[in-house]
Structure 1
Amino acid sequence: MVIKRVICPERIRQVPAQFSWIDHRLVRERYIERCDACAAALYLFLVTVADAQGLSYYADTSLAQRLSMAPARLSMARSDLVRIGLIAWQRPLYQVLALDTPPPESAPPAPAQADVATHLERLHAALGKRHA
């Protein structure tokens, strides 16, 4: 028998003001846009089965079967939810987390120096052809 324990006590969820376990900030603060369909399905399942502290302990085999996901796809979905900050996971426990303030949107990666040089060369070439 699994002994349940809170993984992140500082983020135990509470029923939001709009009286729903699915917090509207999931959409308003664009968490849902950082999930693919498999991660969203896993999140919905975990929200549905979790206790008042957000805890549940379904095995990967059960989750994969109930969500019709390959084990590797389930693992990716779980990793996405952890990365986004929607769940905490320590085998076998899942904890649906209270929504934090949204992380800042990640800036696009800076182009490598060689990429900048290549783009500049192409731009100069294009401009040179126009003025010739």
Structure 2
Amino acid sequence: MPIKRVICPERVRKIPAQFSWVDHRLVRDRYIERCDACAAALYLFLVTVADAQGLSYYADTSLARRLSLAPARLEMARNDLIRIGLIAWQRPLYQVLALDVPAQEPAPSPSPATDVATQLARLHAVLGKRHA
């Protein structure tokens, strides 16, 4: 086994004051294997811009432009992340979710204003579990 050594000591990563790294459980618990490239890119972007509570307010048009995604593809990526249990979303608010507990279906929102896409993603998640 090769001996590990720092290649560029002047660029060793330090935990920034405003947030932390991407959680290694993303790989260890195989979340990343359930994401396609677009969903992974959206997740990385949201982790990067989120505050300490995991919240951000990026609009679909900004996200689509910054990630070079068509609006429909952005919606698919978002729904995948919701289904996997990595994010929660109620327009215009995104929340990157903690990986402390196994992914589970989101609890129904008491708000009648819940976005239709979120409701559909929850329904697909429930139906997918029944057929598994």
TM-score bracket for this pair, using the shorter chain length: 0.5 to 0.7
What amino acid is the match of 2:89?
A: W
Instruction: Verify: 1:101 aligned to 2:107, yes or no.
Output: no
Specify the alignment match of 1:68 in structure 2: 68
2:43 aligned with 1:38 = no
What code does the residue aligned with 1:70 have? A
- Report deviation, 1:20: 4.1
The Cα shift of 1:59 comes to 0.3
CA distance in 1, matches of 2:37, 2:61: 19
- 8 A Cα contact 2:39 2:77, kept in partner: yes
For residue 38 of structure 2, give the secondary structure of its aligned residue in structure 1: helix
Structure showing greater Rg: 1
Q: Unpaired segments of 5 or more residues in structure 1?
A: 1-14, 111-132
Distance 1:66 1:45 in 2: 9
Tell me the percent identity.
83
Contact persistence 1:29–1:102 (CA under 8 A):
no
How far is the alpha carbon of 1:43 from its aligned partner? 0.1
Alignment of 1:21-36 (within 5 A): 21-36=21-36
Q: Point out 4+ residue stretches in structure 1 off by more than 4 angstroms.
A: none
User: How far apart are the structure 1 equivalents of 2:81 and 2:102?
Assistant: 15
Q: Which string of whole-angstrom CA distances, capped at 9 and with x for unpartnered residues, describes residues 19-39 of structure 1?
A: 943110000010000000000
Query: 1:69 offset after TM fit, Å?
Result: 0.2
Q: TM-score, normalization: structure 1?
A: 0.63
What's the counterpart of residue 5 of structure 2?
Answer: none
Name the amino acid aligned to 2:86: L
Give the C-alpha shift of residue 101 in structure 1: 1.9
Residue correspondences, number? 91
| Residues 92, 102 of structure 1: alpha-carbon distance in 2 compared, 3 angstrom cutoff | closer
> After superposition, where does 1:49-128 map in structure 2 within 5 Å?
49-99=49-99, 100-102=101-103, 109=131
Secondary structure at the aligned position of 2:75 is classed as helix
Asked whether the 8 Å contact 2:56–2:94 carries over to 1, the reply is yes
Q: CA deviation at 1:40?
A: 0.1
Q: Secondary structure at the match of 2:53?
A: coil
